[in-house]
Amino acid sequence: MCGRIPLVLLPGLLCDHSLWKHQVTALDDVADCQVMVMTEDDTMAGMAARVLAQAPAKFALVGLSMGGYCAFEIMRQAPDRVARLALLDTSHEADAPSRRSERLAWIAKAKLQGLEALIPDHMAMWFHPEHLKDKALVAVAAQSARNVGLAAYERQLTAIMDRLDSAPTLALISCPTLVLCGRQDMATPLHLHEAMADGIEGAELVVVEDSGHLSTLEKPDVVSAALRRWLGVSE
């Protein structure tokens, strides 16, 4: 424990601790990892407040997708508590009307047909086509979605749809920041990450080749190595 960096990990939509299992193991020698549960709140403000109530006084913060949206809200609520920030496969933009309509359709389908009917759609959107062929890998994400469940899925989507535009927050971020994205991320494409890296002074942009939206599962070694460098720890 002594000397390890407090590291808070925020999962994405329909994701649980398994999203970070590789990083928790790979960084165990340098980081005291805490994976937060993101299922209880239907606002980003509520999610951020819950994370802050459970987090150490000062910590490094990593968020993927919805976790990144929450990380931006944490930077608004308590920027002085965040020593380092990593934004993975996420976006600083608020939902466009078309995106909101898509999310409402997901909720309607899940309520009518059950969450299981949505899982293949999300897997196809999140994984690189080659990784989608890896049944064991996809099974990890699919089980994670089942663990989160329908009620939490609706709460998470509500928080996502109603989140603030974080573009004005970019220029206010002053801590060491990593922006990382799978090159083939269809959910939050590369151009969004390029804009985030441009908007945050000193931010490092890392593009993960042959990866989709779930880079921590698809290319775990690459992501873990990038996080280790961001933490300021040599290999």
How many distinct structural domains can be found in the chain? 1
Q: How far is the C-alpha of 135 from the C-alpha of 49, rounded, in Å?
A: 36
> pTM for the whole thing?
0.97
Domain CATH number, residue 72: 3.40.50.1820
Q: What is the pLDDT of residues 84-105, one digit of tens each?
A: 999 999 999 999 999 999 999 9
5 DSSP β-pair partners: 31
Q: What is the pLDDT of residues 128-147, one digit of tens each?
A: 999 999 999 999 999 999 99
- Indicate whether 1 pLDDT > 50: no
Q: How far is the C-alpha of 45 from the C-alpha of 180, rounded, in Å?
A: 24
DSSP class of 93:
S
Domain carrying residue 18:
1-235
| Cβ-based neighbours of 126, under 8 Å, separated by 6 or more | 141, 186, 187, 212, 213, 214
Residue 7 and residue 34 in contact, taking contact as beta carbons nearer than 8 Å = yes
